[in-house]
Chain A
Amino acid sequence: MTHEEYRDWQNAWQENDTGKTPTGMDAIMSRMKAHDQRSKRINLAKASTVFMLLSLMAFQVARQKAPLKTSMLIGLILVTINTVIFMTTLFGKQFRLKRLDLGQPSLIFIRQAIAALPAEMQHITRHLPLFLIFQALAANIMFIDLWPKLAPVTLVLIHVGTTLFLFLGARLGLMVRRRIYNRSTVPLMEDLRQTEKAWSRGEE
């Protein structure tokens, strides 16, 4: 193939100036603002949900006429600490992916993305069992003295039911997460590995 021939291709390619682009500078800027606001709204919603749940718990405790029982206090502290640790480390993994430097040479970017992509799922599968055990433990501790007049059988049923509810809920959540992961992240990682292999083949 001659240089001239290839130059013709390049010219033909670039002559396609994509016509009048539907997105002018102003449209791009307004879309960016919309995107920025959407991200802020999502983050605000997440923070509000956590805040509301904690406030609700605090409110429930405060409205009790009787003094706060030690078991309730221990349970609440355990739930709060456990949730904060699990969620902050999970957000950290998500944040790591968002903070990948897109301005790096692609081969470096690909290697970092391959390392960062499975981190969130690995975190969940590794730490979810321990998180659940502590949540179940905390919930059961809170319930110890909550209903002193209930029959022992009913109390046992409440404890078992709460524990089962927690574990089944988590199992369902994990299934949904894994499905999304298998559909979006696994093919992407395979694609990135193939690209990395193809682009770096013969480099070393």
Chain B
Amino acid sequence: MKPEEQHLHFTELYDRLEHRLKRFCELSAWDGRGPDLLQEVWINIWNALPRFRGDCSLDTWATRVAVNSALMFRRSEGRRSRHTAADMDMEKLVDKQTAEKTLLIDTELRERLYACVSELQPRDRMIVGLHLEAMTHRDISEVVGVSENHVGVLLHRLKPVLKKCITGEENDS
């Protein structure tokens, strides 16, 4: 890939995915480190662009890079901090992230949705996060590398959990 081509693809991706990836990174990174992860994601996208083979759409490919960067992000987090997932006080974390979001989220539903998604396991958060971005089961299956049916199964399992958290009611589905 020529440098001009790389720059062009990167600019297009940035225009299209800027907000999606920012939301994804804020959701996936621990302890308000979303901006650090976001920066790493864009750097990785830039560096990996010459290796894009075109076996999926550019958006799907960039989302794969974001998901895989988020999966590996804990390595650098571990180097900088002694905290592990188990050590984290989840309640404080959600409170902090929610507080950081207060300026951005102005409706109760969004607030509850964000808090409830944040309470999920990181791996489940990623799947739900992608689906909330209106990515189809097929898109998610291409990103994660499992079948469409399996994505459906995962989401089917997670949606009632989310609903229960958001509405505060017992699951009826």
Q: Are A104 and B68 in contact (CB under 8 A)?
A: yes
Q: Does A12 contact B (CB under 8 A)?
A: yes
Q: What's the dominant secondary structure at chain A's contact region?
A: helix
Q: Does A109 contact B (CB under 8 A)?
A: yes
Q: Are A9 and B82 in contact (CB under 8 A)?
A: no
Q: Which residues of A contact B2 (CB under 8 A)?
A: none
Q: Are A105 and B105 in contact (CB under 8 A)?
A: no
Residues of A bordering B, CB below 8 Å: 1, 5-6, 8-10, 12-19, 21-23, 25, 28, 31-32, 35, 101-110, 113, 180, 183-185, 187-188, 191-192, 194-195, 198-200, 202-203
Contacts beyond the supplied A1-B163, A32-B46, A198-B123: 13 A-B pairs with Cβ under 8 Å: A9-B132, A12-B110, A13-B113, A15-B110, A105-B143, A106-B64, A109-B71, A187-B78, A187-B84, A191-B122, A195-B122, A199-B150, A202-B153
Q: Are A31 and B153 in contact (CB under 8 A)?
A: no
Cα separation A6 to B155 with both chains bound (whole Å): 12
Knowing A16-B23, A23-B38, A101-B51, the reply to whether A35 touches B43 (Cβ < 8 A) is yes
Q: Which residues of B contact A110 (CB under 8 A)?
A: 71
Residues of B bordering A, CB below 8 Å: 11, 14, 18-19, 22-23, 26, 35, 38-39, 42-44, 46, 48, 51-53, 61, 64-65, 67-69, 71-72, 74-79, 82, 84-85, 101, 103-105, 107, 109-110, 113-114, 121-124, 131-134, 142-147, 150, 153-154, 159-160, 162-163, 166, 173
Cα separation A185 to B131 with both chains bound (whole Å): 29
Q: What's the dominant secondary structure at chain B's contact region?
A: helix
Knowing A102-B64, A106-B68, A203-B150, the reply to whether A1 touches B159 (Cβ < 8 A) is yes
Knowing A13-B132, A109-B71, A194-B123, the reply to whether A103 touches B61 (Cβ < 8 A) is yes
Q: Are B113 and A203 in contact (CB under 8 A)?
A: no
- Closest CB pairs A-B (n = 10): A105-B145, A184-B78, A107-B145, A13-B132, A195-B123, A102-B65, A18-B22, A102-B68, A109-B68, A12-B110
Q: Are A103 and B64 in contact (CB under 8 A)?
A: yes
Q: Are A12 and B42 in contact (CB under 8 A)?
A: no
Q: Are A28 and B42 in contact (CB under 8 A)?
A: yes
Which residue in chain A gives the minimum CB-CB distance to B135? A10
Can you give 6 contacting A-B residue pairs, CB < 8 Å? Answer: A21-B19, A22-B35, A103-B52, A107-B146, A109-B71, A198-B124
Q: Are A8 and B109 in contact (CB under 8 A)?
A: yes
Cα separation A101 to B153 with both chains bound (whole Å): 27
Knowing A199-B154, A203-B150, the reply to whether A25 touches B65 (Cβ < 8 A) is no
Knowing A14-B132, A18-B23, A184-B78, the reply to whether A1 touches B173 (Cβ < 8 A) is yes
Which residue in chain A gives the minimum CB-CB distance to B65? A102
B27 to chain A, nearest CB (A): 10
Q: Which residues of A contact B153 (CB under 8 A)?
A: 202
Q: Are B113 and A12 in contact (CB under 8 A)?
A: yes
A177 to chain B, nearest CB (A): 12
Cα separation A194 to B126 with both chains bound (whole Å): 14
Q: Which residues of B contact A16 (CB under 8 A)?
A: 23, 101, 104-105, 110, 114
Cα separation A106 to B142 with both chains bound (whole Å): 9
Cα separation A13 to B114 with both chains bound (whole Å): 8
Q: Which residues of A contact B39 (CB under 8 A)?
A: 23, 28, 31
Most buried by A among B52, B65, B77: B65
Q: Are A14 and B145 in contact (CB under 8 A)?
A: no
Q: Which residues of B contact A18 (CB under 8 A)?
A: 19, 22-23, 26, 104
